Amino acid sequence: MGDETFLAATLPVLDLAVASVTAVRDAAARAGGFDAGPPPDPERVAAAFASDRLLRLDGAPVDGFAPLSGFFRAADGWVRTHANYPHHRARLLALLDLPDDGGHAPSRDDVVAALAGRSAQDVEDRAAATGAIAVRARTEDEWRASAAGRAAASGPPVRTAVRDDVAPPRALTAGRRPLAGVRVLDLTRVVAGPVATRTLALLGADVLRVDPPRPPEIEVQHLDTGQGKRSTLLDLATRDGRARAQELLERADVLVTGYRPGSIEGFGLRLPRGAVHARVTAWGDDGPWAGRRGFDSIVQAASGIALVEGSRDGTARAPEDAAPGALPAQALDHATGYLLAAAVVDALADRAGDGRGRETDGALARTAHALLTAPGRDPAHGAPRAPGPRCVVEHRAQVDGRGGVASTTRPALDRLAGEAVDDHPAPARPWGEDEAAWAP
């Protein structure tokens, strides 16, 4: 079997994955002044993209989705929900008029029954209005014809713009860790943002992830994407939390945010002159869905990917005619994360010449558009081949207050400057337990 069986799907997922990791490798080579070398190992890339499926705790697999997350039949098609976080679950149940009063916790069967008589479009509209997360599964033609789909087709997955503010230029470090001495303030969650900042840490950056105390992060998710960083808690809703965050930001070279447009700006944080601000969102900054919540699985469903992958002839049938499927990995998240990291490296390298600040923004929906329009569909594909044990590394971990052995994937970048990269600089530290300070 060839490399193409890794991440096998109707859409060319492995091509997207390898291209996004190659973009990081090439950016690092330009910044560090070394030869980029051979292409990334497809097996290592596939493992990194499917990391949540390969994650093990004491040998046991981890389910990345909560019971109320997934596809559900509506009266006229399918909806995809996302309820991994408690507040999203609560909003979904409220939307469906399912009380969760402690006496009876609504089950998946309850949600199935509640959705069966409702219009998929009505569920999507009510979710957008109430802050719940649910979308109608569309065909790719429906998405392409919509205003939100046209916005997603407006540019590449990651875009960069130059600002007018200037700071004294500062050269990057030559060699395989060109970001040594660069400070990255990481205000991201879930997958795409943490993948980007984990990659920046691999290239030498001091990455400090900042989360609010509530809601707590899903610990296994942090274990999967938190390598090489430190993790601290600050409540930006308080004056003291905002003040401390601003102090950290004043000494940062890069701010990476993973919340909806305007969320971080609403706290009044001010970028220092010459800083790089990298943002990742589900739908991008323009179009009618710019302010909506979203995750990889939700973008797959809305954009037509789910119906393409659910069809064995490679066409996206009408929602009522075919059950939706999914990509073999959260490929929109991972690809956008690597492409965002590559853009940050290039922005820092360019800043070393002119000192000017830069904005880079990635959108999962634009990455979805790139995947849907890429050549090389394979509707006759077989099941994806699982990467082998050489792509996995074991280390001690602490989850839910207990210690154990975690098996996580090795970096997608298998070589830098001719040297093998066997693991990230360090395993993920316990979530939120570090000091809110830069490393000495």
Active site residues: 333
Token couple for 333: 């998240």
For 59, list phi and psi in degrees, rounded to 5.
85, -10
CA dist., res. 305 & res. 319, Å (int): 12
In sign, the C-alpha dihedral spanning 312, 318, 321, 324 is positive
In this structure, the number of other CB atoms found within 10 A of the CB of residue 216 comes to 14
User: In this structure, are residues 384 and 328 in contact, taking their beta carbons and an 8 Å threshold?
Assistant: yes
Cα–Cα separations (whole angstroms), residue 44 to 24, 393, 424: 14, 12, 13
The letter for the amino acid at 346 is D
Token couple for 41: 């190992």
- Which residues is 276 bridged to in the sheet? 254, 358
Task: Determine which helix (DSSP H) or strand (DSSP E) holds 109, and give its type and residue range.
Answer: helix 108-116
CA dist., res. 174 & res. 416, Å (int): 12
User: In this structure, are residues 285 and 261 in contact, taking their beta carbons and an 8 Å threshold?
Assistant: yes
Nearest to 302 by CA among 314, 285, 319, 315: 319
Residues 6+ apart with CB under 8 A from 125: none
**Would strands 60-61 and 56-57 be described as parallel, antiparallel, or unpaired?**
antiparallel
Token couple for 108: 């998946």
DSSP-derived 3-state class of residue 360:
strand
- Tokens 């395989």 locate to 176
